Structure 1
Amino acid sequence: MSDPTSNPQPEDVVHDADGDAVNVEAVNDGESVPGGQPGAGTDGSPSGANDQAATAGEGGSTPSSEEAGPAAAMVTLDEHQRLMAEYVNYKRRVDRDRADIQQRAIGDVLESLLPVLDEINLAREHGDLAEGPFRSIADKLEGSLGRYGLERFGAVGEAFDPMLHEALMHAPWDASNEDLPKDATSTTVVVVMQPGYRAGERVIRAARVAVADPE
């Protein structure tokens, strides 16, 4: 049996548990590692795997910042325009609703004053407003309400309009009545029992009338 000390081994050679010689230099160069693969890293994966993944990330389908920038900007612009359109529509709807509410409120106030206006109209027809302070008060009240669009309508000789007039009775045609048009061809108002009022296009109260058909 030979003495191991008599045959010195190179410094790069060591013995494993079975006494076989292992070339340390070869192991360091990645040529052969027990239990691993040549060129394997510390986690057992090929040493070039990470480099290949990095290369794939650079040349793969993932868009670069230069390519994604215009697309992202376009999406942001479209979203901004959509929000602006929604805001404009919302503001128009709010303004329209506000105007409708205001007109209804004015109409309600004017309707509550119709009994007072009826009394003033009757007093004027009976000559009680010919002079005196009451006439001045009545004129100022009607003038103030007129600024809110209040208008009185309904007169003898008007053509009957079911949207404006409420026919309470049907009377015979009186040809001697000078207020009736001579060329009337349709149902006509012959007596106004109670005038109508409207504010703008809204009819607050239809005129209550008697009508007749021309002969």
Structure 2
Amino acid sequence: MRRRLYLMRHGAVAYVDAAGRPVPPDDVPLTADGRAQADAARAALADVELDRVIASGLPRARETAGLVAPGKELETWPELREITAARLSSIPADELEEAFVHAFRGIVPNEKRFLGGESIDALFDRVLPALERLVADDTWDTALVVAHGGVNRAILSYVLTGERMFLGRFEQAPGCLNVLDVGEPAGADWIVRAVNVSAVDLVHRATRLTQMEEYWAEMVWEGGEPPSHT
């Protein structure tokens, strides 16, 4: 008998202010769209008995988890926080768009630093032990983990390959669910049931942009307008 892990990305937030300038990401709350995405995920999971509910500890993940699983005890695992970037001002202006938009493109080398900040290797160093700790605890049957786009990619990549290989082409829409089953021996028998399931947009009609392209398009940079939302 396999156990079920629902791996979710937090709902939508706004990382830029009204003028298009980046804002500190750690404390941003969900937008109205983000709350609607969490509500839709709660409806999708209405008949699922969750034994454990875990969030990264960042407010956007905790808020999402609270909306998806109201009344459930919420565990905070700080090691599941999103991969951290350096200050965007530290990246040369003529390299910024390429670095930003292509941050999660293709097979990302483990030594690559996300926007000049934390490396993929460092991300794996904290996320994989957390995953192993969760799987090693056999007291639960069904768990919900609310994390982030980079974190979820790391977990999905590891589950599929069995290696510390970061597959950046796994898109993670705001509020999406990934459905994973794990059997025995613990952590060795993974089955990926579904990836990037958006309860509010099942066939992803709303956009063909990646999230990094969406974020770039929201920003106003000195000397020019952001790219179009086409």
Bucket of the pairwise TM-score, normalised by the shorter protein: under 0.3
Q: Report the TM-score, using the length of structure 1 for normalisation.
A: 0.22
Q: Which entry has the higher C-alpha Rg, 1 or 2? A: 1
Q: Report the TM-score, using the length of structure 2 for normalisation.
A: 0.21
Structure in which a larger fraction of residues adopt helix: 1
